[in-house]
Amino acid sequence: MAVLDKTKTIVLSKALEMANIRYESIELKEPALAEVEQFYETQRSKNGMAAMKLLLALNSGVTEKVLSGMAYTDYKKCEDYLMSFLTFDPSADGSN
């Protein structure tokens, strides 16, 4: 069975700033069920990128407004990590 990292730090190639807060990195963790539920609701009503930005904001505590200035390559690293949970299949190794 695949083992997922429960937390991950994404070091940003371009720092994000709002007011007097500067983000050099973003701390991500395994999403809670409520976060995933909101992700799927937003994906249905808007689009996949809006849904991922919401999930990223909920998970990291960084507002969507601040995340809008994120470098696309940094966004993709965050997306890759969070998608590992959204696509997780505990029976993929055939033992369950």
Q: Which one-letter DSSP state was computed for residue 35? A: H
For range 4-17, the mean pLDDT: 96
Average pLDDT, the chain: 93
What is the rounded average pLDDT of the residues 57-74? 97
pLDDT at 95: 55
pLDDT computed for residue 93 by the predictor: 61
User: 91 falls in which pLDDT band (50, 70, 90)?
Assistant: confident
Q: pLDDT tens digits for 30-58?
A: 999 999 999 999 999 999 999 999 999 99
Token code pair at residue 64: 């969507």
